[in-house]
């Protein structure tokens, strides 16, 4: 079986966000979909169809203030896919979008239906997992 990749994004919150609404929007994105809406125009992947195994949104209180953590897991990602998810879900959390608008954006298969792309600061590869340890 192929490897799975986990990406993480930590975003310092400047305004209160409804994390439950963000998770409701994120739930529309898990599974196998055509992610054209969330794909950069310069993406070089052969296909926009990917399987998203996990997209979990978590509120975390830190000494620096509240943060929203995004836990994303898939076999592979499209160019700017995670940043597009985060920017779109921020719109949901801020109340500008309804969680169902995320589903409509996904189904549009149109980059213009995507929310803003979040900045890259805070985005990191959290790990690569293999079904069997290739070094054992």
Q: How far apart are CA 47 and CA 35, in angstroms?
A: 9
For position 116, what pLDDT does the model report?
A: 93
CATH, range 4-129: 3.30.70.660
Calculated CA dihedral for residues 103, 17, 87, 20, nearest 10 degrees: -30
For position 35, what pLDDT does the model report?
A: 98
- Give the pLDDT band (50/70/90) at residue 11: low
Domain ranges of the chain: 4-129
- Give the pLDDT band (50/70/90) at residue 27: very high
Residue among 130, 122, 121 at smallest CA distance from 5: 130
For position 107, what pLDDT does the model report?
A: 98
- Give the pLDDT band (50/70/90) at residue 6: low
Q: Is the pLDDT of residue 68 over 90?
A: no
For position 77, what pLDDT does the model report?
A: 92
For position 8, what pLDDT does the model report?
A: 59
Partners of 12 in beta bridges = 67
Q: How many residues does the chain have?
A: 136
For the whole model, what pTM was predicted?
0.87
**Between 99 and 12, the higher pLDDT residue:** 99
Tens of pLDDT, residue by residue over 49-66, are 999 999 999 998 888 878
Average pLDDT over the chain reads 89
Cβ-defined contacts of 81-84 (< 8 Å, 24+): 81/35, 81/38, 81/39, 81/50, 82/7, 82/9, 82/123, 83/9, 83/117, 83/118, 83/119, 83/120, 83/123, 84/37, 84/38, 84/39, 84/40, 84/114, 84/115, 84/117, 84/118
For position 2, what pLDDT does the model report?
A: 56
Mean pLDDT, residues 15-42 taken together? 96
């Amino acid at each position: 079986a192929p490897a799975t990749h986990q990406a993480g994004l930590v975003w310092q919150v400047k305004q209160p966000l409804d994390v439950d609404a963000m998770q409701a929007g994120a739930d529309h994105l898990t599974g196998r979909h055509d992610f054209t809406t969330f794909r950069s125009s310069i993406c070089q992947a052969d296909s926009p169809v990917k399987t998203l195994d996990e997209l979990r949104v978590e509120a975390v209180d830190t000494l620096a203030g509240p943060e929203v953590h995004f836990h994303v897991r898939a076999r592979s990602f499209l160019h700017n896919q995670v940043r597009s998810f985060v920017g779109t879900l921020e719109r949901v959390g801020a109340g500008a979008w309804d969680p169902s608008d995320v589903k409509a954006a996904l189904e549009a298969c149109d980059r213009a239906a995507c929310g803003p792309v979040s900045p890259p600061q805070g985005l990191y590869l959290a790990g690569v997992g293999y079904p069997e340890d290739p070094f054992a």
